[in-house]
Structure 1
Amino acid sequence: MATTPSPADTPISGRHRVAVVGGGSAGISVAARLRRAGVTDITLIEPSDTHWYQPLWTLVGGGQAPLSTTRRPEGSVIPDGVRWVRSRAVAVDAEASTVRLSGGDHLAYEYLVMAPGIQLDWNGVPGLAEAVGHDVVSSNYTPEYAPRTWDLIKRMRSGTAVFTHPATPLKCGGAPQKIAYLAADHWRKQKVLDGIRVILVIPDPAMFKVPAWSHVLEKVAARYGIEVRLRSEMTGVDGDARQLTLTDHSNGTRETIGYDLLHAVPPQSAPDWVKDSPLADSASPQGFVAADKHTLQHPHHDNVFSLGDVANLPTSKTGAAVRKQAPVVTANLLDVMNGRPPSHRYDGYTSCPLVTARDRMLLAEFDYDLNPTPSFPLLDPFKERRTMWAFKRYGLPPIYWRGMLTGRL
C-alpha cells in the first residue's frame, strides 16, 4: 500500500470506471480486490484521514487494548492505483450515474459501490447527545469515548451501572453486551461486584438471535448477577440528574432508573444523504441501501452494488460479514462489467465475537437461516474459550490490516 495523491492532485472530471463511496473496511476491501483483478480507474470517495479498526474498541473500553492500536492513516490502507477523492459524498443521482461531493463537484461513474457505513444517531434518544462523554456516561461506539469507558469502570466501587442496546440495526450487535461482561468480570476480580447493580437493556425477546448462543449468554449474565431487561429500550436520559427512562415494549410501561455509570449505544441508521437517495430501500425505516441479499446488486440499478453496514441485508452488521461480502461484490461487479449476470452468492454469513470475560470469548458464526457456520468445526462453538479471546485480541487485527484490506482474505 502506498499513500495516494492529495486532493489537489486528484482530478474528478470525466467519467470514472468504478466509484467506491466509503473508505472503511468494506470500501477498501472491494477496491483492493478490484485492483488485484486488474481493474483500473477506481475512485474512492472518503473524507477521513484516519482508518479505524473498530472491533477492538470494546477491548479499549474494557481496558484490554490501547486506542492507538486501532488506527492508521487512511492513505496507508488505500490500494496502489486507486484514486482517493478526500471529500464527502452528499447525494447520488442513479439515473445520471453521478455522485455529488461536499465541495459541490459531481463525480460521474460507470459502476458504483456503496459502502459509506452507518450513522450514529445520538439525537435519537432525548438527552443522550448532551450526556454522552460527560460525567459518568460513555460509549465504546466512538474512539473519543472508548478510553473513557475504562476510566469509569476502574473508578466504580458501588452503585448502579446500566448498559443499553438500541432498537435499531447496529454495527457489531454484540458490543453492547460485551462491555457489560468485561465490566462485571473486572468488578468481580476487584471484589466489588456484590455492591454494584448491573442492568443490561436489550430490545429483543432474547439475548441473541441464535437460540443456542442465547442460552449460553443467559448463563453468563446470571454468573455475574446481571439484571437483563428484554424487550426494553432506553428512551430518555437526564445527564444532570443521572437518570434514564426505560420503556418496556412488551407492555408499554416506563421506569426511571438512577445510574452511577451508563454505557449507552445510540440508535443507528444509514447516513442522511443515503436515506434521501433513490438507492434507499423503501422497506427500511433506517434508509439502508436496497440490495439483493445474495448478489448484493441493487434491484433497480444494475450498475450499483452495496455491502457492509449500509446495505439492507437480514444479517448482523459486522466486519466478518464484510469479509464474506467483499469477494461476492467484486466477482459480481466483474460479471456485470463483462456483460454477464451476477454469478456469486452471499449466504448471510456473519460472526459475532462475544467476549464474556476478561479472558474468555464465544465465537458466534451463522448464516441467513441462523445455522451455525463455525470456522473451527472441531471446537465446540458454544463453549467460552481463552483461545478465542486471544484470537480476537491478537489474531484478528493483523488478519484485518494485512489480509482483508489488501484483498488477500
Structure 2
Amino acid sequence: MTAPVAKPIDVLIVGGGSAGIAVAASVHKRRPGLAITIIEPSETHYYQPGWTLVGAGVFTPERTRRSTVDLVPKGVEWLRTSVRQFHPEANEVELQDGSRRRYRLLVAAPGLKLDWEAIPGLSAALGQNGVTSNYRYDLAPYTWRLVQELKSGRALFTQPPMPIKCAGAPQKALYLSADHWFRQNRLNNIEIAFHNAGAVLFGVKDYVPALMEYVRKYRTDLRFESRLVAIDGRGRTATFSEKGADGEAAEVTRPFDFIHVCPPQVAPDAVRDSPLAGPAGWIDVDDATLQHKRFETVFALGDVCSAPNAKTVAAARKQAPVVAENLLAVLDGRSLPAVYDGYGSCPLTVERGKIVLAEFGYGGKLLPTFPTWMLDGTKPTRAAWFLKERMLPEIYWQGMLKGREWLAAPALARAREVA
C-alpha cells in the first residue's frame, strides 16, 4: 500500500530569527486558524542589534538572548531542525533527516551566512591576539575588553563588500571604541584606520556630513576600496587589497594591536544551491510585494531576500506585515494588497549617548519616523540614543515578535501585478 500523503502545512516558515518569528506572529494574529510551522535549528534567539552596545560595555551579553521556545507564538508549531533542500516546484522542503514537508505557502527567512572562512586565517585568529568582531555573540564582550585595555598602538576596523547585515555596524564599532579612547585621553597614542571595501563612508549621502565630523574628531584614516583578504593573528598583521590611484589593486600588509573585523556575507548554502536563488544567490523576490518572481507560493523577507534594501531588523519589522497581508491574499485568491517601500534603519552610534538615526528606503529616499522638529536623524542626538538603548529592545521583544505592528502597519495600496 502507498503511504498516505501528509496534509500540507498552510504556511511553512523557514527560519526562526527576527524575520521568521515576526511574520509568524503577524500571520497568526490575522488568521489564527491557519496551520503555521516554523523550521529553526537554534534553541537560542538573539537580538543582534544589541551586540554593538555589548562591544561598547553598554549592554550585557545576556540582555540580547532568549530561548526560542519562549518566542514562538502560541498555536504555531516549531520544528527544531533545518532545511537541506528547497523543492518549490513541488511545494516541498527537505529537512536534514531526509524527510519532506509539504506546504501551501512558503515563507523563507533563514537569514544569511557570515563567511568567516572567506578570509584566510580569520577563523583561527578570532577571540585572541587582538582580533574581534561584534558580529558574534561570544566575541562582542571581547571587543569591549580590548577597547578598555588598549592604551596605545594601531586599531583597525574593516568593512567587506556589500551587502552585509546592518551596513553601519562596522562604523558603529569604530565610533564607540574611539569615543572611549577619546574620553580616556588616549587618542594621541592610538592610530585608527577604517578599511572599507566600498567607495563611500555611507550609502545615503544625507548622513555623511555628520559622520565625517566624527571621523575627524577621532582622527580616523579612511581607506576606501580597501578589502581585508588575509589575517595573521599570531603575527598581528592584516593584509588588504587596495585600489591605487591608477585603478589597479595591490596588496598591503599592516601590523595591528587591535582589529575589529566584519566578515563577508552570503546567502545560506541551501538557498544559493536552490531554484529560489537569483543571480547573486539571494532569494529572488519582487521588491515591492516580496513574492518570489517565479514561484507564486513562495515569499521571502529579512536578510536572505534579494530586495535592494538595507539588511536590518528594522527592515524585517516593516517587511513582516507586508508578507502577512500578501500571503493571505494568495490563499484567498486576491490581488496582492501590500507594498514594501524598502524601509530600513541604521542607528549610527557616533558616541556614547548620541546617535545619527539613519532611516531610508529604496533609492536612498529618507523615510524618517518622526518629524524633524522632534528628532532630526541627520544630526547626532541624545533622543536617538534613548530610542536605541531603551525603547528599541522592548519594541523588538514585546512588539515585533508578538505581531504588534507599532509604526509598521503596511500600506495596503494595490500592488502591481506579479506573474
- Give the TM-score category using the shorter length: over 0.9
Deviation at 1:215, TM superposition (A): 2.1
1:98: which partner in 2?
92
- Spell out the pairing of 1:3-152 with structure 2 (5 A cutoff): 13-38=6-31, 39-152=33-146
Decide which of 271, 275, 289 is 1:274's aligned counterpart.
271
TM-score, reference length from structure 1: 0.95
Corresponding position of 1:408:
404
1:390 aligns with 2:386: yes
Deviation at 1:77, TM superposition (A): 0.6
Q: Secondary structure at the match of 2:166?
A: coil
- Paired residue for 1:231, among 225, 235, 238? 225
> In 2, Cα distance between the equivalents of 1:165 and 1:87?
32
Deviation digits for residues 221-260 of structure 1, max 9, x if unmatched? 1111011111211111111211011111343122110000
* One-letter amino acid of the counterpart of residue 71, structure 1: R
Which amino acid in the other structure matches residue 279 of structure 1?
A: L
Letter in 2 for 1:274: V
Q: Which residue of 2 aligns with 1:312?
A: 306
> Which residue of 206, 209, 214 maps to 2:203?
209
Percent of aligned pairs with the same amino acid? 45
Deviates further, 76-85 or 167-176? 167-176
- SS of the equivalent of 2:90 reads coil
Distance between the aligned counterparts of 2:335 and 2:227, measured in 1? Answer: 43
Q: Deviations over 1:13-46 (max 9, x none)?
A: 5421110000011000110011111142101000
CA contact 1:164–1:264 (8 Å) conserved in 2: yes
Query: Is 1:193 matched up with 2:187?
Result: yes
Amino acid at match of 1:396: L
**SS across alignment from 2:89:** coil
Q: What residue is the counterpart of 1:7 in the other structure? A: none
- Greater shift in the superposed pair: 12-21 or 169-178: 12-21
- DSSP 3-state at the match of 1:369: helix
Q: Secondary structure in 2 aligned to 1:405?
A: helix
Partner Cα distance (2:343, 2:330) in 1: 23
Residue of structure 1 aligned with 2:292, choices 295, 298, 310 = 298
Secondary structure, counterpart of 2:316 in structure 1: helix
Kindly indicate whether the alpha-carbon contact (under 8 Å) linking 2:87 and 2:93 is maintained by their aligned counterparts in 1: yes
Deviations 1:297-350 (A, max 9, x none): 001000000000000111110011111111110111011110112121111111
* 2:252 alignment partner, SS class: strand
Q: Deviations over 1:137-183 (max 9, x none)?
A: 01000101111110111100000000101113111111000010001
Equivalence for 2:254: 257
CA distance in 1: counterparts of 2:253 and 2:128, whole angstroms: 20
User: How far apart in 2 are the matches of 1:346 and 1:240?
Assistant: 47
CA RMSD of the aligned region, Å? 1.1
- Following superposition, the deviation at residue 201 of structure 1 comes to 1.2
Describe the SS at the equivalent of 1:95.
helix
Aligned partners of 1:168 and 1:269 also within 8 Å = no
Q: Structure 2, unaligned stretches of length 5 or more?
A: 406-419
Q: How many residues align?
A: 395
Letter matched to residue 316 of structure 2:
V
Say if 2:157 and 2:260, in contact at 8 Å, map to a contact too: yes
What amino acid is aligned across from residue 257 of structure 1 in structure 2?
R
Instruction: Note the C-alpha offset of 1:84.
Output: 0.5
How far apart are 1:130 and its partner, in Å?
Answer: 1.3
Hey, what's the Cα distance between the residues in 2 that align with 1:97 and 1:371? 37
Partners of 2:198 and 2:208 in 1: how far apart? 11
Whether the 8 Å contact between 1:158 and 1:195 is mirrored in structure 2 is yes
Output the CA distance in 2 between the equivalents of 1:388 and 1:54: 18
Mean Cα displacement is larger for which, 50-59 or 215-224?
215-224
Q: Is the 8 A contact 1:200 1:227 kept in 2?
A: yes
Q: Distance in 1 between matches of 2:235 and 2:188?
A: 24
Tell me what 1:338 maps to.
Answer: 332
Match of 1:374 in 2: 368
Structure 1 moving runs of 4+ over 4 Å: none
- What one-letter code is carried by the residue in structure 2 that aligns with 1:364? A
Question: Partner letter of residue 391 of structure 1?
Answer: L
Can you give the 5+ residue segments of structure 1 that lack an aligned partner in the other structure? Answer: 1-11
Q: Does the CA-based 8 Å contact 1:30-1:407 persist in structure 2? A: yes
1:206, 1:170 → 2: CA distance?
15
Cα pair 2:210 2:356 within 8 Å, conserved? no
